[in-house]
Structure 1
Amino acid sequence: MNSMSLIVRLTKRALLMGVSSLLVLPLSGCLTTQTTNAGEVGVTRQQFVLVSSQEVDASAQKAYAQVLAKASAEGKLNRNPQEVTRVRAVARRLIAQTGAFRADAPNWKWEVNVLTSPELNAWCMAGGKIAVYTALLEKLNLTDDELAAVMGHEIAHALREHTRERVSQQMATNLGLNILSAGLGLSAGVSDLAGQVLNVTVALPYSREHETEADRIGVELAARAGYNPRAAISLWQKMEQVGGGAPPELLSTHPSPERRMQDLEVYSQRVFPLYEQARKRSQ
């Protein structure tokens, strides 16, 4: 490629990134919502949305049913009754506390299942569809407090409707890219590259922000349910130790371990009185 062609391509990419940002920013100013109460941890960020909760929840329900059907067909759904009982017991206590963040959440159609997998992972789809992988329980030898930390974190993603937010961001980005690609006469290759750049510079930072919010809300849910919120620190330490050279899926988009531990120290301490109150009530 000659130098002139390179300059033209780089100029188009820079223009695409800049103008696309201008298209998305006005939308973000008028289509924002706050999906949860702030809680003791003070999560108050306004969120950009383009799609309804009902649409996302319906899609999540279909996707979850497909996951369970596949796992069942492969003999990987709820194979160990003791593990299933334990996971669902912890989930019930956490779900009972979700009303602190949103009044409708305790009445969601929650589902909790255990999937046999060597992957260190757990997730909660929109609307309260939870899956915990057996590797988390067996490889990490989790205490109930640590199990509550990881499940509280995943439940927090659903409470904050992070899936809905990410879908909305992608819709806005795709809209901007399509308009700009047509207007500038860019090739598909350049447009795809610009999309990748935007994903790294816009989507990834939001994803890390989501993870931090889930950490903070998760420790509060755990504390309110009578689980020691400081277990979140030992949980993530275990996750790092078994991750080796590549972090487990649960850690893949989070800020540095040092920053995470510092944040968890601060917020677990902030909600510790809630844990002490919950323990007193249970005695």
Structure 2
Amino acid sequence: MRLHLLIAVPLLMTLTACETVQTTQGGTVGVERQQMMFGGLSSAQVNQMAAESYFGMLTEARSQNVLNTDAALVGRLRRIADDLIPQVEYFRPDARNWEWEVNVIENEQLNASCMPGGKILFFSGIVNRLELTDAEIAQIMGHEMAHALREHGREAVSRAYAAQAGTQVVGALLGLGESTRQAADAAVQYGLMLPHSRGNETEADLIGLELAARAGYSPEASISLWQKMAAASGGSPPAFLSTHPSPQGRIQTLRETIPRVQPLYQQAR
């Protein structure tokens, strides 16, 4: 056991490289959770990596002639983004200075993202197949922007680092064999990674709801959006084994939160 402890000490020390941060203000929706970030990975580094990945995707899409081929859709999304971006100051004032960008790839997948630093990408399928209204697009875009504001990408990397180190510590302390180590890996995955990921999705839902409301887009669109998403997906995995909340749970949370942001919407109209 002493040898196991000697092995575990430096691994435990690596966990202290994580620091507690508050990436955003709570807003009206009250997202106040403090986050653990690996101190050796800065926001600037993550933003730079994200930008490189984003521009790589644009280059590939351009070479395949599927980048921004629908001028009307691109203009529509950029107009909605112009409404949403000023609202980020209520959660994170420095984000107003990010180099925001919106592009569209012609693809039938139901997908959209906002990379760290404000790089927004929509697949045309999510708008066209779901026949989204502007207010529903604002809910998706606000949700994705919220992931960037909260630095969920950097947080995920930090959690993965901590999970790997944590599994090594458990193995060192208990002398786990290979099969037991695999069980420990699974325990870390389902006990640490997925619940946090579901929590991040809920935070993004709530912050996105407020961003859209402040920009003058109806909060009720969040309900119709996720109803459309649930219908298009044909069902979803159980919430316990999913990185996203179940559609029913997600809609219930949004319904409970809408009264808090409704005055912001009324004021913005």
**Common topology (TM > 0.5):** yes
Check if 1:74 corresponds to 2:64.
yes
1:33 matches 2:60: no
Q: CA deviation at 1:178?
A: 3.8
Contact 2:146 2:204 in 1 (8 A): yes
Q: Distance in 2 between matches of 1:253 and 1:180?
A: 24
Q: Helix, strand or coil: the match of 1:271?
A: helix
Q: Secondary structure at the match of 1:124?
A: strand
- State the distance in 1 between where 2:89 and 2:206 align: 16
2:76 is aligned to 86
Q: How far apart, in 2, do the equivalents of 1:176 and 1:269 lie?
A: 41
Q: Does 1:254 align with 2:216?
A: no
Which digits, 9 at most, give the CA deviation of each residue in 1:156-213, with x for residues without a partner? 0000110111100111122233455466665666545532331121100000000110
1:229 aligns with 2:219: yes
Is the deviation greater in 231-240 or in 110-119?
A: 110-119
Q: Deviations over 1:16-60 (max 9, x none)?
A: xxx9xx9599749x7111100110001100000012111111111
CA distance in 2, matches of 1:86, 1:109: 19
Shift in Å, 1:229 = 1.3
Q: Aligned equivalents of 2:257 and 2:176: distance in 1? A: 47
Alpha-carbon offset, residue 266 of structure 1 = 1.6
Aligned residue for 1:31, secondary structure, equals strand
Deviation at 1:75, TM superposition (A): 1.5
Mapped to 1, the partners of 2:236 and 2:63 lie a distance apart of 30
Name the % identity: 50
2:186 maps to which residue? 196
Q: Which secondary structure state, in structure 1, belongs to the residue aligned with residue 92 of structure 2?
A: coil
Q: Which runs of 5+ in 2 are unaligned?
A: 1-7
Conservation of the 8 A alpha-carbon contact between 2:163 and 2:192: no
Between the aligned partners of 1:187 and 1:220, the Cα distance in structure 2 is: 49
In the alignment, the residues of structure 2 paired with residue 259 and residue 169 of structure 1 have an alpha-carbon distance, to the nearest angstrom, of 24
| Selected match of 2:37 from 31, 49, 58 | 49
Task: Report whether the alignment pairs 1:205 with 2:203.
Answer: no
Deviation at 1:155, TM superposition (A): 0.4
Match of 1:270 in 2: 260
Question: How far apart in 1 are the matches of 2:221 and 2:13?
Answer: 39
Cα deviation digits, residues 85-131 of structure 1 (max 9, x gap)? 00111011101110110110111011111111121111111111111
In structure 1, what is the Cα distance between the partners aligned to 2:191 and 2:106?
35
Alignment of 1:78-227 (within 5 A): 78-181=68-171, 186=176, 190-227=180-217
2:230–2:236 contact (8 Å) kept in structure 1: no
SS at match of 1:97: helix
In the TM superposition, residue 259 of structure 1 has moved relative to its aligned partner by 2.0
Alignment check: 8 A CA contact 1:94 1:148 kept: yes
1-structure distance, mates of 2:43, 2:15? 22
Aligned length, in residue pairs: 256
With over 3 angstroms needed to count, the CA separation of the structure-2 counterparts of 1:196 and 1:70, relative to structure 1, is farther
How large is the Cα RMSD of the aligned pairs? 2.5
Distance in 1, Cα, partners of 2:255 & 2:21: 29
Q: Give the conservation status (yes or no) of the 8 Å contact 1:49–1:168.
A: yes
Give the conservation status (yes or no) of the 8 Å contact 1:60–1:126: yes
Q: 2:48 pairs with 48, 55, 58, which one?
A: 58
Query: How far apart, in 2, do the equivalents of 1:239 and 1:221 lie?
Result: 20
Contact 1:24-1:173 at 8 Å conserved across structures:
no
* Residue 245 of structure 1: how far off its partner (Å): 4.1
Whether the 8 Å CA contact 1:99–1:106 is kept in 2: the answer is yes
**Equivalent position of 1:9 in the other structure:** none
The aligned counterpart of 1:4 is none
Distance (Å, rounded) in 1 between the aligned partners of 2:33 and 2:13: 17
